[in-house]
């Protein structure tokens, strides 16, 4: 990590946009509106009327959104320049057009990024960038800043806002596909959001790309390795659905979890309807998360990936769900690639999943959230006495700085 000051400078140098969701009290006579912003890197000089696809790329543990923005942009440029993934003897494939794809890399700050948020906050205590504690952003945890805000924003709620923004027909009339992707801790977030998230995309199909995550949220309490050293905690969120106490609950999950922790519906939705593409590097032998809870899932990134595929197949068999075979969940093992986001995204399968999924725009959406924009789609936790908050105006981009194109890509 660069020092905070340099961190901030880099951001300004290549462009930053502030993406705001306004949160209003459920009690409508309270006129105090508080604005919290999610920062993000986004392709510039695009014509919203031409955009058919957005790739929402989630950063890693180092909150290196700029790196993931660059890598995804590079993969797209490479794919459009060489058309490698489209070489097929049997049929001609639609050629990718760069200007039809938008890349958006949200930035989940934490306490270590103080230089960034203090400067940007400009002295206001109720507005400013959203900051989450530690790595809680990856699990859907609540924000701790802006301070003084009377409620906290879950990082999953922030993703809901981003999805709603891109699914808005008035802004993006030709949008056909939303991809939520991540590598490493970003992949952990993508997998967990795919499981619990509201995914409020209305009529648009949403696909998730999960590359080399450090751990998964399991769907049942079974694990491939011994749980003896953490038998109380191994199935708690974020590792499993055994104990879930976060405030973020989509409508669906709230109902599903409320019945004595009966999570069957959540599992069924994930394995039957949520479109998840797993990518594992066959050289990714890194241990990553060494906590006991992660070790119960396997010893390395690759092993955890393989084990999770078996787990999914078991769940599918038990519930008589034909998910994996129906291409709801797909897996690609990327030869010789280690814990390397660029290597994963640049691979044939990576390019296929990120940029060619639904390239003809013919898919029917499934497994997405409630299309009614007025519906309430997140709730305070069952044990919380906090007032219920809901968004009233979502995702208004209110400041954009010019993004100087990355020289190496020109
Ligand atoms: C881009 O694609 C070309 C053609 O397949 C390949 O030779 C090149 O290595 C790729 N670039 C990167 C950075 O992987
Ligand atoms: C919610 O935000 C406040 C500050 O705005 C913070 O003091 C509190 O710890 C946060 N709660 C959680 C659960 O993060
Ligand atoms: C549990 O912890 C003990 C003591 O540290 C260790 O010897 C043992 O191998 C651990 N068991 C597993 C399954 O990791
Ligand atoms: C993988 O890497 C090894 C050693 O670098 C090399 O010998 C082998 O040919 C590579 N395999 C593939 C499929 O690229």
Question: Residue 20: is its pLDDT beyond 70?
Answer: no
Instruction: List the residue whose alpha carbon is closest to atom 2 of ligand 2.
Output: 144
pLDDT at 70: 95
For residue 208, the cross-strand partners are 180, 276
Per-residue model confidence as pLDDT tens digits over 44-68 = 889 999 999 999 999 999 999 999 9
- Cα 336 to ligand 4 centre (Å): 6
Q: Which atom of ligand 2 is nearest to the CA of 149?
A: 5
Confidence bin at 250 (pLDDT 50/70/90): low
Q: Do residues 188 and 141 lie in contact, with contact meaning Cβ atoms separated by under 8 Å?
A: no
Give 400's contacts (C-beta < 8 A, 6+ positions apart): 15, 17, 42, 44
Instruction: Please give the pLDDT value at position 266.
Output: 81
Across all residues in the chain, what is the average pLDDT?
A: 77
pLDDT at 129 over 90: no
What number is the average pLDDT over the span 153-182? 93
Distance CA 232, CA 151 (A): 30
Q: Is 71 in the pocket of ligand 2 (CB under 6 A)?
A: no
Q: What is the pLDDT of residue 260?
A: 54
Instruction: Specify the range with the lowest mean pLDDT, choosing from 99-113, 187-201, 308-322.
Output: 308-322
**Rg from Cα positions in the chain:** 20
pLDDT of residue 265: 75
Q: Show Cβ contacts of residue 214 under 8 Å, excluding neighbours closer than 6 positions.
A: 184, 185, 188, 288, 289, 294, 301, 304
Q: Helix, strand, or coil here: 101? A: strand
pLDDT at 22: 37
Residue nearest to atom 7 of ligand 2 (CA): 144
Q: Is any ligand 1 atom within 6 A of the Cβ of residue 229?
A: no
CA distance 278 to 125: 40
**What is the pLDDT, as a whole number, of residue 169?**
92
Q: How far apart are CA 110 and CA 159, in angstroms?
A: 16
3-class DSSP state of 133: coil
Supply the pLDDT for residue 82. Answer: 64
Question: What whole-number distance in Å separates Cα of residue 106 and Cα of residue 193?
Answer: 14
Average the pLDDT over each of 86-100, 136-150, 267-281, 338-352 and give the range with the smallest value.
86-100
Residues in Cβ contact with 283 at an 8 Å cutoff, skipping those fewer than 6 apart? 302, 336, 337, 338
Closest-lying ligand to the alpha carbon of 70? Answer: 1
Confidence of residue 262 (pLDDT cuts 50, 70, 90): low
Name the pLDDT band for 261 (thresholds 50, 70, 90).
low
Residue 316's pLDDT is what?
Answer: 73
Instruction: Identify which of 283, 332, 336, 348 to mutate to test ligand 4's pocket (most ligand atoms within 8 A of the CB).
Output: 336
Structure tokens at 131: 């900051």
Q: Assign 234 a pLDDT band (cuts: 50, 70, 90).
A: very high
The answer to whether 240 and 292 are in contact (CB under 8 A) is no
Determine if residue 32 is left, alpha or beta; phi over 0 gives left, psi from -120 to 50 gives alpha, anything else beta.
beta
Residue 135 pLDDT exceeds 60: yes
The Cβ of residue 402 has, within 10 Å, a number of other Cβ atoms equal to: 9
User: What is the domain partition of the chain in residue ranges?
Assistant: 4-27+35-409
Residues with CB under 6 A from ligand 3: 226, 228-229
Whose structure tokens read 């993703």? 159
Cβ neighbours for 157, distance < 8 A, ≥ 6 positions apart: 21, 248, 378, 391
CB within 8 A of 258, min separation 6: which ones? Answer: 382
The whole-angstrom separation of Cα 102 and Cα 19 is 15
pLDDT of residue 6: 26
Tell me which of 121, 129, 140, 142 to substitute to probe ligand 2's pocket, judged by most ligand atoms within 8 Å of the beta carbon: 142
Ligand 3 atom with the shortest distance to the CA of 292: 14
- Cis peptide upstream of residue 238 (ω within 30 degrees of 0): yes
Whole-Å CA distances, 310 to 38, 263, 279, 306, 331: 36, 19, 15, 7, 11
Rounded distance between C-alpha atoms, residue 97 and residue 193, angstroms = 29
Question: What is the per-residue pLDDT for 404?
Answer: 25
Q: What's residue 318's pLDDT?
A: 62
Residue 407, pLDDT score: 27
The pLDDT value recorded for residue 383 is 26
Q: How far apart are CA 288 and CA 187, in angstroms?
A: 13
Predicted pLDDT of residue 145: 82
**Ligand 1 atom closest to 78 (CA):** 1
Give me the pLDDT at residue 148, please. Answer: 59
Predicted pLDDT at 264: 66
Query: Domain 4-27+35-409 is classified in which CATH homologous superfamily?
Result: Alpha/Beta hydrolase fold, catalytic domain (3.40.50.1820)
């Amino acid at each position: 990590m660069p020092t905070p000051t340099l961190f901030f400078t880099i951001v300004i140098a290549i462009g930053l946009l502030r993406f705001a969701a306004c949160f209003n009290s459920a009690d409508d006579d309270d006129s105090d509106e508080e604005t919290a912003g999610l920062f993000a890197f986004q392709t510039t000089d695009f014509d919203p009327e031409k955009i058919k696809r957005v790739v929402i790329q989630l950063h890693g543990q180092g909150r290196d959104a700029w790196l993931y923005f660059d890598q995804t942009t590079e993969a797209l440029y490479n794919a459009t320049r060489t058309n490698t993934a489209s070489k097929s003897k049997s049929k001609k494939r639609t050629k990718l057009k760069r200007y039809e794809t938008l890349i958006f890399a949200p930035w989940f700050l934490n306490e270590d990024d103080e230089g960034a948020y203090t400067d940007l906050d400009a002295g206001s205590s109720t507005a400013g960038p959203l900051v989450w504690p530690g790595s809680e952003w990856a699990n859907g945890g609540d924000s701790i800043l802006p301070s003084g805000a009377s409620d906290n924003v879950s990082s999953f709620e922030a993703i809901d806002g981003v999805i709603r923004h891109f699914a808005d027909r008035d802004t993006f009339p030709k949008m056909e596909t939303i991809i939520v992707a991540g590598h490493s801790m970003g992949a952990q977030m993508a997998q967990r959001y795919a499981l619990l998230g509201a995914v409020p995309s209305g009529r648009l199909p949403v696909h998730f790309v999960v590359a080399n995550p450090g751990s998964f949220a399991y769907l049942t309490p079974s694990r491939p390795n011994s749980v003896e050293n953490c038998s109380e905690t191994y199935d708690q969120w974020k590792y499993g659905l055994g104990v879930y106490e976060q405030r973020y609950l989509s409508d669906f999950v709230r109902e599903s979890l409320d019945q004595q922790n009966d999570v069957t519906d959540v599992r069924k939705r994930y394995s039957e309807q949520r479109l998840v593409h797993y990518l594992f590097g066959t050289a990714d032998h890194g241990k990553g998360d060494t906590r006991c809870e992660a070790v119960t899932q396997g010893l390395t990134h690759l092993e955890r990936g393989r084990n999770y595929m078996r787990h999914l197949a078991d769940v599918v068999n038990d519930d008589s769900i034909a998910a994996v075979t129906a291409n709801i969940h797909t897996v690609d093992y990327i030869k010789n690639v280690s814990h390397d986001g660029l290597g994963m995204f640049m691979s044939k399968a990576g390019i296929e999943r990120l940029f060619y999924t639904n390239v003809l725009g013919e898919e029917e959406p499934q497994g997405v959230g409630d299309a009614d924009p007025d519906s309430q789609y997140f709730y305070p936790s069952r044990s919380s006495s906090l007032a219920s908050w809901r968004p009233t105006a979502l995702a208004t981009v209110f400041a954009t700085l010019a993004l100087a194109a990355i020289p190496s890509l020109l």
